[in-house]
A and B are shown apart, each in its own frame.
Chain A
């Protein structure tokens, strides 16, 4: 991440573009950071400018929405809320069932006895568990090395051997990105060679048809499109060029080319 602070003129310029929703996600982030770093008087000025733009109706058409639209809007929001509630219903049931079970349990001496026994058994299980984890960690260290080598070979078979030049290269700075919204499937690893330039993006667990743009913001605030690719399978590898002079302080982000949603 760069620590670039925009000057006053740039901030006002960006505030106008931000108010109109015209900043790319990575630029909007930079603007937000600069806004928070700005003096309170400048923040107030920006808030006022953006409010004036939002309220300005002078160039908007003189139309009024149909009266039926309000009902449609409320229905659409209610429907979305219901859908979300149905999606979360299984989680809510866990709490409900637990509460129901608690209601049925008695508080007799027998109950206290079993609870004490369960606590003791739990304590023993925790101690044994810690011992088992420790010995298991030693045992798996060797197998992990072997597994990593296997995984690297498998990925190299799919995306080509070029990714070995970047992933795991000590000169490469690797940024891991995940979807900001929507499903949580997939992630990207973007490696940039800080010594010689050039980079590589590796996408894992992507969905077919995902079209992704990798962007980099230089220390000067310029946003570069480093790579753009479409996933035709869960694993995608793509190299890109970037001059080594541009690498210091480069901020990496990605955007879904179809929806504009960010990977952060």
Chain B
């Protein structure tokens, strides 16, 4: 990453060769079309170049850092795209529009990734709801907590448990193939 930080083209090429496909797959999962995903991949690698000097190999593996920057960028993209109600303005109408957004997002998810949708459907309702809202609709955990009228700690626990179960589900499915 030191070589990436000083803008060495070979280092950036190597970084892309190792993680470009992974970043692209995740971008495709989040965004509604290939063009947006390709733009996102370019922006992610610019962001990786800009933040390379902050990577600390004692705290995380390189792939963790790359995917963290990617996920944060994709969540930012979704937040920029979505007009969301402010947390203190949430009323019935806003909750209704959140539900409509959720339905639209769910449809997109179904089309893009049947395996993920299948795994999501297998989760308890609370875990599924918090994952959809926080992970795919870009709401902050505090906003989700207000929307579903649950304590913040409960939302965090449900989200964490849900993500762990999603991964277990994915691993089980892929090993069954």
- Whether B41 and A61, one on each chain, are in contact in the complex, defined by CB atoms closer than 8 angstroms, is no
A21 to B72, CA, bound (A): 5
State whether the Cβ of B163 lies closer than 8 Å to any Cβ in chain A.
yes
Which A residues touch B70, using CB under 8 A?
21
| Min distance, Cβ B3 to any Cβ of chain A, angstroms | 12
Which B residues touch A55, using CB under 8 A?
22, 63
State whether the Cβ of A80 lies closer than 8 Å to any Cβ in chain B.
yes
A17 to B164, CA, bound (A): 10
Which A residues touch B112, using CB under 8 A?
61
- Whether A63 and B61, one on each chain, are in contact in the complex, defined by CB atoms closer than 8 angstroms, is no
Chain B 73-95, CB-CB to A under 8 Å as 1, else 0, gives 01110011000001110000000
A16 to B64, CA, bound (A): 11
Which B residues touch A260, using CB under 8 A?
72, 75-76, 79
- Whether B167 and A58, one on each chain, are in contact in the complex, defined by CB atoms closer than 8 angstroms, is yes
State whether the Cβ of A29 lies closer than 8 Å to any Cβ in chain B.
no
How many residue-residue contacts, CB under 8 A, span A and B? Answer: 160
Closest to A22 in B: B134
State whether the Cβ of A138 lies closer than 8 Å to any Cβ in chain B.
no
Which A residues touch B164, using CB under 8 A?
16
A14 to B140, CA, bound (A): 14
| Min distance, Cβ A203 to any Cβ of chain B, angstroms | 18
Chain A 51-72, CB-CB to B under 8 Å as 1, else 0, gives 1111111111101111001101
Which A residues touch B128, using CB under 8 A?
none
Which A residues touch B22, using CB under 8 A?
55, 57, 60
State whether the Cβ of A210 lies closer than 8 Å to any Cβ in chain B.
no
Which A residues touch B150, using CB under 8 A?
none
A53 to B168, CA, bound (A): 11
Interface hub of A69, A70, A81 (most chain B Cβ within 10 A): A69
- Whether B170 and A56, one on each chain, are in contact in the complex, defined by CB atoms closer than 8 angstroms, is yes
Closest to A228 in B: B86
A185 to B65, CA, bound (A): 29
Known contacts A51-B64, A61-B28, A73-B41; can you find 10 more A-B pairs with CB under 8 A? A22-B75, A36-B59, A50-B60, A69-B24, A69-B42, A72-B38, A76-B42, A81-B49, A222-B153, A225-B142
Interface CB pairs A-B, < 8 A, 7: A19-B68, A22-B75, A51-B64, A53-B167, A56-B170, A63-B24, A69-B41
